[in-house]
Every structure is written in C-alpha cells, then in structure tokens.
Homo-oligomer: A and B are copies of this chain.
Amino acid sequence: MKVWLLDNGSIVIEHTQLMWNVPGEQVRIPVYSVLVEHDEGLFLFDTGFDLDHMNRVLPFELPERTEEQTIPAQLESCGFGLGDVTAVVNSHLHIDHVGGNQLFKGTDVRHLIHELELAQACNHEPFEFFGYSDKSWDYEGANIETFSGDEFELAPGIRILHTPGHTVGHCSVLLEGEQPMLFAMDVAYTATAMERGIQPGFHHTPVDGVRSIARVKQVAEETGARIFYSHDMDEWRGYRRAPEHYEV
C-alpha cells in the first residue's frame, strides 16, 4: 500500500480541548486526511474542514486553509482526481473530519461511516452541537453505507477499529504490512496525550475513551504499528506529507 497524508490546514483550540481538564495556552493544531492506494481501490480517510462553514460557525478557532490545502489540490499533488477515489471513510462526523465530503457530489464514491456515528450525528447530545454542525456530508445523492461492530476489514490489510469515547462511533485505522501504520484519529489528539492517557476535552463518553486509548496502545504493541496522531503539530511537522508518501 502507498499512503499519503493530505494537509487540510489548521485550527486553534483551547488547551483543555487538546487535553481534557489540563489548562494551558491555546494551540494551533493540524488537520489532515489519509489517502491509501490499495489493490482494491483508492481510499480516503477523513476530508478536513470546510473553510466557509468554519468561518461561519467557529470563527474563533481561526481556521487557516490555503487553496493548496483543499482535498482536490491535495489529491492532484498525488496524481489523482476526485473521481479516482473508491471510498471515503470518515473516522467520525465532526466538523474537521467531514468538510470535504460534499466535494464528491456527482461522483459515484462510496461514503463509509460507522452505523453508531451516523445515528449519533443525526440525533446528537446538546453538548455535541458544534462538533456535528457541518451536515454537508449528507449531500444530495451521497452514497452512504454503514458498517458496524468492533472491527471492520475494509480491504485486506485495512482494518477499521471502533474506538469510541470522543464520539459514539469513532474509528481508528490500522494499515497492516511490513511497516504498519495506526491512525489513532481523535482517540487522543497528541503523542503526549496518548502517552499520559488523556483524551480530548470534547467527548461523548470518557469511560469509553479510556478503553479506546488502551486499545490503540495494545494494537500498536501487538502489530508493531507506528501510531500517527490527528492533531499534534510537532508530530505533523515530522510526518511525510503529500506528495511524499509512505509504503506500508
């Protein structure tokens, strides 16, 4: 498998959102998507945020995203177009992970979402309002399919792990191979948070979050996978970014 990390810009959040109940300075965090070329298709995990929506609903998060950081531009840098993508998988349906879904309108892309996440986004808790405020993933004609359960094999070597806590249907992604990669997604935002077992301040069920942090660590240990963090600026600066890629 070839794997590209697609830069989707950045936003600013409170430190207590980065690490629940840990005070500190506000922090600018990266937002990115993951593109996987596999024998069975081209898979895109998450789609960043929609800049217009962010500026309208959460302007205080100071979103920054250039034209080069849009999904089409990032795909193009890797030699692909929107129509080449087989399936878009959202780790969860929060605002900074679904913003580019609507760009696939008119293609025959499959949108894959954990069934619990889809249900929750449609009927969420009041405290999840901002997280689920971008509903454009449900665009007219969207070909949405759900998967369920604790684990789902998208294709040989691509394992989607249900890791709830941050949201009800949150998922992480394990890519198996000689150099396995584990995308923890929002189980913990940063390497430090993962190490210290601290989940994001924005969450649905922290008790589940504790179990998911433990699961990610265990899977990484069992498989020897390198954990990639969703919102860690220091880690992000050290990652290969599209058009550079990883071989799994």
A205 contacts across to B, CB distance below 8 A: 205-207
A26 vs B220: C-alpha distance in the bound complex, in angstroms? 38
A223 contacts the other chain (CB 8 A): no
The minimal Cβ–Cβ distance linking A58 to chain B, given in whole angstroms, is 12
A203 contacts across to B, CB distance below 8 A: 206
Interface residues on chain A, size class: 20 to 34
A210 touching B125, Cβ below 8 Å:
yes
A86 contacts across to B, CB distance below 8 A: none
A147 contacts the other chain (CB 8 A): no
Number of copies: 2
A17 vs B125: C-alpha distance in the bound complex, in angstroms? 19
For chain A residues 1-51, which have a beta carbon within 8 Å of chain B? Answer: 14, 16-17, 20-21, 23
The minimal Cβ–Cβ distance linking A48 to chain B, given in whole angstroms, is 22
Query: Which residues of A pack against B, CB within 8 Å?
Result: 14, 16-17, 20-21, 23, 125-127, 197-199, 201-207, 210
Q: Which 7 pairs from chain A and chain B are nearest by CB?
A: A16-B16, A14-B23, A21-B201, A125-B210, A126-B197, A125-B207, A127-B206
